[in-house]
């Protein structure tokens, strides 16, 4: 698998960048995980609409799904012009209902996520794990050929999540809060220290901090996460692509 981080800021992006979005590529297709503000323009540098196998949305906050409407317009265009034959599968939480209703579209097929569900996309096995945020929210584990990637964002610290992470080759873990930051109220989020603890509990091979605060001291956040994890810690400004 190849994992490309398209956007990594929480709440709102920095100039010419994006909030949350990750592209996972296999030999069989491409999976988009989250589609936040600015993600679509980044996505089109790496993939076209006909190449997308599915979209997974962790939760229905705008920094994770703000670009989904424009992506649906692009699917509409691709199907009308014969570039794509089938509707695009979208997996998302069914709540808040107003947001669920807003992402329904004739050219996509939307499936409601549930804790513990598992399905196959692009030759990879996707497992779903409910986390604790301010609204219904899910983490994803993507496995193929003995390699694993865990997308773990927008949650409080969950000591019991170690079993879900379970020796992931790459853990992309939210770190919304750090010493001195005022980017977030902190509700439903983790600190950089929590991210390091989460990686340690799950015996992850590599940790990449994600959902970063706009006012964060990013090198300092890496140091704090490392103090709890002890393994390799990256942020997307250092490395955006991972081959598993």
Decide: 142 and 125 in contact? Cβ < 8 Å: yes
**Residue entry with tokens 């994803």:** 140
The whole-number average pLDDT for the span 48-71 is 98
The whole-number average pLDDT for the span 144-163 is 98
Decide: 44 and 4 in contact? Cβ < 8 Å: no
Structure confidence at residue 111 (pLDDT): 98
The DSSP bridge partners found for residue 75 are: none
**1-33 per-position pLDDT tens digit:** 999 999 999 999 999 999 999 999 999 999 999
CA–CA gap between residue 54 and residue 32 (Å, rounded) = 6
Average pLDDT, the chain: 98
Strands (E), 16-107: 21-25, 30-33, 52-56, 88-92
Model pTM?
0.98
Q: Which domains does the chain have, with CATH numbers?
A: 2-243 (3.60.15.10)
Within a 10 A sphere around the Cβ of 157, how many other Cβ atoms? 15
- Does a cis peptide bond (omega within 30 degrees of 0) precede residue 96? yes
Structure confidence at residue 78 (pLDDT): 98
3-state secondary structure at position 25: strand
Structure confidence at residue 51 (pLDDT): 98
- Residue 14 CA, chain-centre distance (Å), reads 18
Decide: 73 and 52 in contact? Cβ < 8 Å: no
CA–CA gap between residue 98 and residue 51 (Å, rounded) = 29
DSSP string, 205-230: S-EEEESB-TT--HHHHHHHHHHHH-
Q: Residues in the chain, how many?
A: 244
């Amino acid at each position: 698998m190849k994992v490309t981080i398209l956007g990594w800021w929480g709440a709102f992006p920095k100039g010419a960048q994006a909030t949350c979005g990750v592209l996972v590529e296999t030999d069989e297709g491409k999976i988009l995980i989250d589609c936040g503000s600015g993600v679509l323009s980044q996505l089109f540098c790496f993939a076209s609409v006909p190449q997308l196998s599915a979209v997974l949305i962790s939760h229905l906050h705008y920094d994770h799904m703000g670009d989904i409407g424009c992506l649906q317009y692009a699917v509409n265009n691709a199907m009308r012009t014969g570039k794509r034959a089938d509707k695009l599968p979208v997996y998302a939480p069914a709540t808040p209902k107003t947001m669920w209703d807003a992402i329904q579209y004739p050219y996509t097929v939307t499936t409601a996520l549930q804790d513990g569900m598992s399905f196959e996309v692009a030759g990879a096995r996707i497992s779903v794990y409910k986390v604790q945020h301010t609204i219904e929210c899910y983490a994803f584990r993507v496995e193929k050929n003995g390699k694993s990637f865990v997308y773990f964002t927008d949650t409080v610290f969950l000591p019991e999540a170690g079993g879900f992470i379970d020796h992931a080759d790459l853990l992309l873990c939210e770190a919304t809060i750090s010493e001195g930051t005022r980017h977030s109220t902190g509700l439903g989020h983790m600190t950089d220290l929590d991210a390091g603890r989460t990686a340690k509990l799950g015996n992850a091979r590599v940790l990449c901090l994600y959902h970063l605060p706009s006012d964060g001291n990013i090198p300092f956040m890496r140091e704090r996460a490392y103090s709890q994890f002890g393994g390799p810690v990256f942020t997307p400004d250092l490395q955006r692509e991972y081959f598993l």
